Amino acid sequence: MEKEQEFIGYIEQSIIQNWNLNALTDYNGVTLQYKDVARKIAKFHIAMEMAGIKPGDKIAVCGRNSAHWGVAYLAIVTYGAVVVPILHEFKADNIHNIVNHSETQLLFVGDQIWENLNEEAMPFLKGIISLADFSLLVSRSEELSYGHGHRNEIFGKRYPSRFSEEHVSYKQNTPDDLALINYTSGTTGFSKGVMLNYRCLLSNVLYCQEMTPLKPGDRTIAILPMGHVFGMTYDFLYGIFSGVHIHFLTRIPSPKVIAQACADIKPNLICCVPLVVEKIIKKDILPKLDSTIGKLLLRVPIINDRLKATARQAAIDIFGGEFDEIIVGGAPLNKEVEAFLMKIGFPITVGYGMTECGPLISSERWEDHKLYSCGTPASRMTVKIDSDDPENIPGEILCKGDNLMIGYYKNPEATAQAIDEDGWLHTGDLATMDAAGHITIRGRQKSVLMGASGQNIYPEEIESKLNNMPFVSESLVVMQNDKIVALIYPDFDEAFAQGLQQTDIDKVMETNRAELNQMLPKYCQIAKVKIHFEEFEKTAKKSIKRFMYQEVKE
């Protein structure tokens, strides 16, 4: 394989070709050009070499999105080591377990995470390095202490005149080499180490380039957590391969923060979870159009072309006005919001994937997006529905191709359960697929509820309707004592702002239940509503951890 066709070779060529362009920026903070990133990579290679780190060794990165997170990742992968990105939202004991299970040699860690960790619980580490300033927090190796402490001095001796593009030369890889172990956040409560090779990572990035070409100097915004493969692929690797200027939101990415950042940065591509788009549309777009219509625009046809154009321009402006499209994934997009955005011609598309596919399984351009679907199979991927009538009867999504993982690290039993003898990954998601290949998700296989007469009930479809009703922020439909119950976290801010008391909120939710039941077949109607006073716990993709609420009893 020619070097230009390798995963690491692409990174090398992008750094060389975009040497004087901006690469990584902390929003309202430091900016590194590609040449700055290259110098830092070279210095870390010196430190790793002196410490006895070998290609194939595991090195973990755990922290909030930042330019230094990106530098650490690139330094690891271009050295030929295996990256272990860890979600910064994980609890300390889970981080300890991942570091130990993955046999990590070095850990790059953010300050907030480091405060809660116990190095004694990670006895096999050679050292811990701060992502804030790259200082050495813990060293259990004289070689590491020397190499890290003298990396600038050694760098100066190796490149006495000037470090330039000609000095950038990284380890070559083969497509089957292990590149990364990503521990799933999941909705089942158990983290598994997904092994991805270079073929998988390269296939994903090339697909991104095929679908939404970016050019050197374009601007992107990293909203999704880099410790999750969706953010790592779309927001980071895709950007680096394309020579773009990546802006990291170093704060919690609330809709307000995202809207302000988009206005400042004017990104050319935006990737995020659906919840962000839903909140911005409902709170910042619809109220500005017509205070008397409000959320009704989500539920009635828009006939007025002028209103469509006004709504479209308002929505585009709030996301910076210069983006090609918004790509959402990781959770379902509210159906009413999706229908509204398609009516006004807003450039948004919905993708589908899993960590086990690094992550892409399906997507498509916004111009070709079919309402309520999540696209068609990604290039170099094959998808089928395990159903006798896949167009009409939901079945499990099965897939295989270049994006597929090697398996779960040190867990052959789980690998065998996920990938069958013919190489098909069993996703656990239920869907239909039309003759053109458009995939429409119906729900998780584990989430399906059984009605009294044996009917399949897809809670996600009910929740999508319920979430668009007055004063509902989010909901979860579960089975309790053979009755279908809706757990609801109300939009307390909006309710209290309109003068409602708690008793009023209870009455509104009961009205919502009655209205919703009129839309539903009798076998899946809601028997009772229960109010939750805190948001439901979520994964990094902002999917509710459904397993935590399934066993709630009367």
pLDDT at 400: 97
Strands (E), 51-197: 58-62, 82-86, 104-109, 127-130, 136-139, 178-183, 193-197
pLDDT at 454: 60
pLDDT in single tens digits along all 554 residues of the chain: 344 468 999 999 999 999 999 999 999 999 999 999 999 999 999 999 999 999 999 999 999 999 999 999 999 999 999 999 998 888 898 899 999 999 999 999 999 999 999 999 999 999 999 999 999 999 999 999 999 999 999 999 999 989 999 999 998 889 999 999 999 864 444 579 999 999 999 999 999 999 988 999 999 999 988 998 999 999 999 999 999 999 999 877 788 889 899 999 999 999 988 888 988 888 777 776 554 444 455 555 655 777 788 888 989 999 999 999 999 987 778 888 898 899 899 999 999 999 999 999 999 999 999 999 999 999 999 999 999 999 999 999 999 999 999 999 999 999 999 999 999 999 989 999 999 999 999 877 777 787 655 667 878 888 888 988 999 999 999 988 778 999 999 999 989 999 999 999 999 999 999 999 998 878 789 999 999 999 998 776 677 877 777 654 44
Strands (E), 357-495: 360-363, 376-377, 381-386, 395-401, 407-408, 425-433, 439-444, 449-450, 456-457, 472-480, 483-490
Residue where the block lists tokens 């983290």: 191
Q: How many helices (H) and strands (E) does the chain have?
A: 19, 27
pLDDT at 293: 46
Of the candidates 348, 361, 457, the residue with the CA atom closest to the CA atom of residue 404: 361
- The Cα 77–Cα 405 span in angstroms is 17
Give per-residue pLDDT as tens, 453-469.
566 787 888 888 898 89
- The Cα 301–Cα 1 span in angstroms is 54
Global pTM reads: 0.83
* 3-197 topology per CATH: Rossmann fold (3.40.50)
Strands (E), 496-541: 528-531
* CA-angle at 374, arms to 306 and 175, nearest 5°: 130
pLDDT at 187: 41
pLDDT at 290: 52
pLDDT at 4: 40
Polymer length of the chain? 554
Label residue 240 exposed, middle or buried (CB < 10 Å: 0-12, 13-18, 19+): buried
Handedness of CA 318, 324, 328, 334 (dihedral sign): positive
Locate the domains of the chain by residue range: 3-197, 457-549
| Residue 31, token pair as written in the block | 């900016």
pLDDT at 278: 86
Give per-residue pLDDT as tens, 129-139.
999 999 999 99
pLDDT at 288: 65
pLDDT at 554: 43
For residue 395, the tally of other CB atoms under 10 A from its CB is 18
Architecture of domain 457-549: 2-Layer Sandwich (3.30)
Question: What are the backbone angles phi and psi of residue 474, rounded to the nearest 5°?
Answer: -155, 160
pLDDT at 185: 64
Of the candidates 195, 243, 233, 247, the residue with the CA atom closest to the CA atom of residue 356: 195
